[in-house]
């Protein structure tokens, strides 16, 4: 089967069957409940929660519990991060008890506040310890456990194939690889070909991640990496529907359809904003929503005057925000071009 046609086909992860092979990546501060719900409605094959600190979840912190809140999607994947086996296992159990169908282990976050605590991609510097965490989580839950990581810590330690092989032997059921090292952060371009070394090391489903923004990118990353599926992160900024749209068109450049036919962008943003206020409350929700409003403006109303844009992103009253957005978009503006959608 070609890379073009495989995207829209199901994929099994343990006893869980995903409807297609284009996924929404976990992103802190982005893939909260309202965002995941929109990605699912648009047709994403899998949506993953924001990264949840295992120790905080084990302590019952409200913010961590909010991050694992069910998003109204049929397959719930919760990503946990940490460095202590007991806390990771406990967090996995809590997430499973809350309804998670898949538990994902974060071994790829490059943020200094995460790696400084010997978590995220810092675990790739100590594969033996990383595998102890994997074993603890796999042994704690009945649902499939997956793993997300990078190529390695730096160019001198590209150990993703070794860790992936050992993780599969420990019971990991799917592996996602971002085509950069930790020390690259998000600089340069992701090395899609380098992911192929992991493909050659494991038999479980492999997901390729990094710099995928279009259907053409999805085709190419599959071809170069040999992966079974694609995970898209930053490409979703201002486009929660992107994964579903790519899965639906399966890379067909002749498809002129759009993910939100007959849906007005103003109404779409208004609903998203309301859902964020419901989740976080007025004060916090208004603040959390600003990044999303900025992305929507940048992509779909790029000619918005600077003064209006600033007013939208600094207003504190929801009614004021929506009235200003109506001025920016026009309440009858539609997402109606493939270029906007992709």
Nearest to 192 by CA among 245, 231, 236: 231
| Per-residue pLDDT at 168 | 98
* Residues 192-233: tens digit of each pLDDT: 999 999 999 999 999 999 999 999 999 999 999 999 999 999
183 is catalytic: no
CATH topology of domain 3-249: TIM Barrel (3.20.20)
Does 1 score more than 90 pLDDT? no
What average pLDDT does the structure give for the chain?
Answer: 89
Beta-bridged to residue 17, according to DSSP, are 12
Average pLDDT score over residue span 147-174? 96
Reported as a pLDDT band with limits 50, 70 and 90, residue 70 is confident
Output the pLDDT for position 4.
53
Query: What's the average model confidence in pLDDT over 281-298?
Result: 96
Higher-pLDDT residue of 86, 260: 86
Residue 123 or 259, more confident? 123
pLDDT tens per residue across span 162-187: 999 999 999 999 999 999 999 998 89
Residue range 88-94: average pLDDT?
95
Which residue in 109, 119, 183, 336 is the catalytic one? 109
CB atoms within 10 A of CB 332: 10
The DSSP secondary structure of 54-87, one letter per residue, reads HHHHHTT-HHHHHHTS--S-SS-EEEEE-S-HHH
Higher pLDDT, 308 or 339: 308
Specify the pLDDT at position 29.
Answer: 93
Terminal Cα-to-Cα distance of the chain (whole angstroms): 24
Q: What is the DSSP letter of 275?
A: H
DSSP 49: P
pLDDT (tens digit per residue) in 243-266: 999 998 764 443 333 444 334 788
Q: Residues 1, 9: contact at Cβ < 8 Å?
A: yes
Residue 305 CB burial class (10 angstroms; 0-12, 13-18, ≥19):
exposed
* Buried-exposed string 256-292: b where 16+ CB fall within 10 A, e elsewhere: eebbbeeebbbebbbebbebbbeebeeeebbebbeeb
Residue position matching structure tokens 């790739």: 124
Q: Which residue has the higher pLDDT, 108 or 58?
A: 108
Q: Give the residue among 52, 190, 183 at the shortest CA–CA distance from 124.
A: 183
The SS3 of residue 240 is: coil
The percentage of the chain sitting over the pLDDT mark of 90, rounded to a whole number, equals: 76
* 3-state class (DSSP) for residue 241: coil
């Amino acid at each position: 089967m070609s890379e073009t046609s495989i995207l829209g086909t199901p994929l099994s992860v343990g006893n869980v069957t995903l409807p297609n092979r284009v996924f929404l990546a976990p992103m802190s501060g982005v893939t909260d409940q309202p965002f995941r719900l929109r990605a699912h409605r648009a047709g994403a094959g899998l949506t993953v929660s924001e990264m949840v600190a295992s120790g905080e979840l084990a302590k019952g912190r409200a913010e961590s519990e909010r991050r694992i809140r069910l998003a109204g999607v049929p397959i719930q994947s919760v990503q946990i991060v940490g460095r202590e086996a007991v806390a990771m296992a406990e967090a996995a159990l809590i997430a499973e008890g809350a309804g998670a169908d898949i538990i994902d282990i974060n071994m790829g976050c490059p943020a200094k506040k995460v790696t400084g605590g010997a978590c995220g991609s810092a675990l790739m510097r100590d594969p033996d310890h990383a595998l102890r965490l994997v074993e603890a989580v796999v042994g704690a839950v009945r649902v499939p456990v997956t793993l997300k990581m990078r190529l390695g810590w730096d160019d001198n330690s590209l150990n993703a194939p070794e860790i992936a092989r050992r993780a599969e032997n420990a019971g990991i059921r799917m592996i996602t690889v971002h085509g950069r090292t930790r020390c690259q952060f998000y600089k340069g371009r992701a090395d899609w070909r380098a992911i192929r070394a992991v493909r050659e090391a494991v038999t479980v489903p492999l997901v390729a991640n990094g710099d995928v923004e279009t259907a053409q990118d999805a085709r190419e990353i599959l071809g170069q990496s040999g992966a079974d599926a694609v995970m898209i992160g930053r490409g979703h900024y201002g486009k929660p529907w992107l994964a579903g749209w790519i899965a639906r068109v399966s890379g067909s450049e002749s498809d002129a359809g759009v993910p939100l036919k007959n849906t007005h962008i103003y109404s779409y943003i208004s609903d998203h904003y309301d859902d964020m206020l419901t989740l976080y409350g007025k004060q916090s929700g208004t603040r959390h929503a600003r990044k999303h409003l900025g992305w929507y403006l940048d992509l779909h109303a790029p000619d918005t005057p600077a003064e209006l844009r600033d007013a939208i992103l600094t207003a504190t009253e929801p009614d004021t925000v929506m009235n200003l957005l109506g001025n920016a978009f026009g309440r009858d503006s539609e997402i109606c071009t493939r270029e906007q959608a992709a």
